[in-house]
Structure 1
Amino acid sequence: MTQAIADINAKIKAGKAKVLTAIELKALVAEIGVTAASKQVDVIVTGTFEPMESSGAIINLGHTDPPIKIRNCWIDGVPAYAGFGAVDIYLGATQEAEPSEETPQYRGGGHAIADLIAGKNVSFKAIGQPNDCYPRANFETTITKESINQFYLFNPRNLYQNFIVGVNGGEETLHTYLGPLQPRLGNAVYSNPGVISPLWNDPDLQLIGIGTRIFMGGGVGYVAWEGTQHFPLQKRLENRTPIGPAATLALIGDAKQMTPEWVRGCYFRNYGASLMLGVAVPLPVINEEVVARASVMDDAIVAPVIDFAIPRRVRPIFGSVSYAQLKSGKITIAGNTVRTAPLASMHLSEAAAQTLKDWILKKEFTLTEPVAMLPSDRAFLPQDVKGF
């Protein structure tokens, strides 16, 4: 069976599309097999809710009177980048607030973005570069998502296809982007939610490309480009899934549509601020191969176990473990039983997929053809000090 995305959209508009979440699809394949399942399903919906620190918001403030050319600014006490047009700003999710009596030190750009999305009033302070076009020297106000022009997330790296499992073989607790790692292999932390997550189900990016419409933070978003650190050349198993960090996506979406349920600021003690984001990606069932790839289970995908006790770019690896093992709550490392915990919310990852499924069934969301496919030949380049 083959069908085009246009055919699937026609079924969606007619209320006749068969839509399953990735978890539902895997259960169906286990029951009736790939071939029979491919004849019954039109769309497979994947989802995730996890920290995505390479994220941020583009904001156009609107011109003041007299006008200002912003060179330095703070949103809710968090420095934002103003090296664009006069009142264009980029607020990074991991930028931390400057300490003050009004702003707790644990807050960062992710919290300010989440507060704006929630409709809260947020403080804004700017210092300008006075000139004949923009004579104003400074400006202070409060802003909301309704009082600014453009407000959209543009995230350079989201949706890791795979990631690592962090452990600590040293003698002191380590505070990392995975949270605290207890000494002497006291715990193991992983961030990817496994086979509900989008890129496990399209391992060679044959369906997801530039222009793919997605659910992003409670609103509509799109795949904008390859993500930073996109590494499709990662070694892969026979089922084409990668053994470590591989493909990533750059995403864009209208933050004015987003909702606080799906966009949350977070903070990792002694590491820094970040952003939790819910994303769901629909996969069109254009042929049987789509279902075969999306039928992969957690016992058939693996992640490397990395020792953060060695502070180097290349760290020791305690082999690989399957996501089924990780989700069981414990793994074995060097003969030791180590408890595991995810950073991603399994419940909200599935809920993001279910929400997008409901949109499609209600005829509120249709699929898009990618305008270009993502590169499959990107190497991962390190950076070293070079002499001059």
Structure 2
Amino acid sequence: MKTIAEINEKIQNKSAVVWTIQELKTRVKDIGITQIAKEVDVICTGTFEPMESSGALINLGHTDPPIKIRQCWLEGIPAYAGFGAVDVYLGASAMADYPGTGEADSDVRQVTTIPERGGGHVIEDLIAGKSIPLRLLGQVTDCYPRASFETTITKDTINQFYLYNPRNLYQNFIVGVNGGERPLYTYLGLLQPRLGNAVYSNPGAISPLFNDPDLKLIGIGTRIFLGGGIGYIVWEGTQHFPLQKRLPNRTPIGPAATLALMGDAKQMSPRWVRGCYFKNYGASIMLGVGVPLPVLNEEVIRYCAVKDEEIVAPVVDFSIPRRVRPTFGLVSYAQLKSGNITIEGKKVRTAPLASIYFSQQVAQELKTWIERGEFTLTEPVATLDMNRSFLPLDQWGSQISLE
């Protein structure tokens, strides 16, 4: 048995033994769970995948005379401005839905937008230190008399700039296929008709929450690697569903737990925060997230030893336009990573949305930080709710037709 305080003392002395999750899974068969639990102090997990339920909170500072922002565009991308005077929230999936700013003001320069560019790209560019055009419209009041303002900003000319991500790190997800007759453009990318391909988004057994299936090692206040900087778990994520059915090894058979994450974007790197776009679907963001798991006992290693052959995901047919779609059963991540799965006797090629290589690199970078004594572990201040069900919107009443 170890404690986080004991592990942190070793980290500060630069004597902690730190492995990536890939190293553990490779070596556990030869060394054994008991010996690894004695020797190793921290296991570093990581992922690099699209996480569209993300965004940035930005405090722009006050103008003179002051403005009470009620509409905001960063490089033509709308940000939410319904709180405070100069605070805005830029969603990663926000996109310009009109040419320019959509305003006819002849005295304000129009911003030419790029159709395949969204909030995630603007966040990436701000993190990279680039200048971003800003346009504001204000609600005129006695204390906020300015009606509009236009300038350019960088991360150095604004006050707070931090990511607040309501839903990241899905503990498992789905595999998307298309049993219909036309191509479908989805949040998993292009799904070819007649089961032409299968796309999965989770990196499998190296993914953080597969290795702590009951969320015993993390909680509110856990320090993590977020986008190349230090972040924290701040709450359960939206659509958090830990009551998902689980295998005997406690891993879920579909989408389950999620986490809400926060971190200072001024510390982050565009290597680990990248805007992306899914054709005919919309903008998103690719995030690198790493979670350190303290080796407190043998049970930690037992769960971290789970293999791709031992975890599964449901194959979902997107050609049926319903909230609950039919499935073609469950497949293991080992099958998915082989490049092909078999559906109703047909061989279907597979591809991941997550970058397996960059997921491993996130874990490796976090390991380096810990070995250098630059990153210590934190005790959670509260556990995450493991008794949360998932409620659909339409269960509370009839849908109203607008026809």
Bin the TM-score by the shorter chain.
Answer: over 0.9
Partner of 2:56: 57
Deviation of residue 31 (structure 1)? 1.2
Partner of 1:103: 113
Deviation of residue 39 (structure 1)? 1.0
1:134 aligns with 2:144: yes
Where do residues 231-380 of structure 1 align in structure 2 (5 Å cutoff)? 231-380=241-390
1:386 aligns with 2:385: no
Q: Which runs of 5+ in 2 are unaligned?
A: 101-110
Partner of 1:125: 135
What code does the residue aligned with 1:25 have?
A: L
Q: Which secondary structure state, in structure 2, belongs to the residue aligned with residue 29 of structure 1?
A: helix
Q: Which secondary structure state, in structure 2, belongs to the residue aligned with residue 195 of structure 1?
A: helix
2:204 to 194, 197, 212: 194
Q: Which secondary structure state, in structure 2, belongs to the residue aligned with residue 357 of structure 1?
A: helix
Q: Which secondary structure state, in structure 2, belongs to the residue aligned with residue 210 of structure 1?
A: coil
What code does the residue aligned with 2:85 have?
A: A
What code does the residue aligned with 2:228 have?
A: G
Q: Which secondary structure state, in structure 2, belongs to the residue aligned with residue 373 of structure 1?
A: coil
Q: Within 1, Cα distance between the matches of 2:99 and 2:163?
A: 25
Q: Could you tell which deviates more after superposition, 319-328 or 98-107?
A: 98-107
Partner of 1:82: 81
Deviation of residue 84 (structure 1)? 0.7
Partner of 1:23: 22
1:154 aligns with 2:153: no
Partner of 2:184: 174
Deviation of residue 32 (structure 1)? 1.5
What code does the residue aligned with 2:13 have?
A: A
What code does the residue aligned with 1:114 have?
A: E
What code does the residue aligned with 1:93 have?
A: A
Q: Which secondary structure state, in structure 2, belongs to the residue aligned with residue 96 of structure 1?
A: coil
Aligned CA RMSD, in angstroms, stands at 0.9
Deviation of residue 222 (structure 1)? 0.1
Q: Could you tell which deviates more after superposition, 93-102 or 303-312?
A: 93-102
What code does the residue aligned with 1:54 have?
A: S
What code does the residue aligned with 2:92 have?
A: A
Deviations 1:143-167 (A, max 9, x none): 0000000000000000000000000
Deviation of residue 99 (structure 1)? 2.7
Q: Which runs of 4+ in 1 moved over 4 A?
A: none
Deviations 1:283-339 (A, max 9, x none): 000111001111100000000000000000010100000000000000000100000
Q: Which secondary structure state, in structure 1, belongs to the residue aligned with residue 266 of structure 2?
A: helix
Number of residue pairs the alignment of both structures matches: 387
Q: Which secondary structure state, in structure 1, belongs to the residue aligned with residue 7 of structure 2?
A: helix
Q: Which secondary structure state, in structure 2, belongs to the residue aligned with residue 290 of structure 1?
A: helix
Partner of 2:67: 68
Deviation of residue 51 (structure 1)? 0.2
Q: Could you tell which deviates more after superposition, 303-312 or 98-107?
A: 98-107
Taking structure 1 as the reference length, the TM-score comes to 0.99
Q: Which runs of 5+ in 1 are unaligned?
A: none
Deviations 1:185-229 (A, max 9, x none): 000000000111100000000011000000000000000100000
Q: Within 2, Cα distance between the matches of 1:120 and 1:294?
A: 40
Deviation of residue 26 (structure 1)? 1.1
What code does the residue aligned with 2:9 have?
A: A
Deviation of residue 277 (structure 1)? 0.3
Deviation of residue 28 (structure 1)? 1.8
1:3 aligns with 2:13: no
Partner of 2:104: none
Q: Within 1, Cα distance between the matches of 2:55 and 2:145?
A: 29
Q: Within 1, Cα distance between the matches of 2:364 and 2:28?
A: 18
What code does the residue aligned with 1:149 have?
A: N
Q: Within 2, Cα distance between the matches of 1:30 and 1:329?
A: 25
What code does the residue aligned with 2:167 have?
A: R
Taking structure 2 as the reference length, the TM-score comes to 0.95
Q: Within 2, Cα distance between the matches of 1:289 and 1:296?
A: 12
Where do residues 220-239 of structure 1 align in structure 2 (5 Å cutoff)? 220-239=230-249
Q: Within 1, Cα distance between the matches of 2:15 and 2:275?
A: 38
Q: Which secondary structure state, in structure 2, belongs to the residue aligned with residue 372 of structure 1?
A: coil
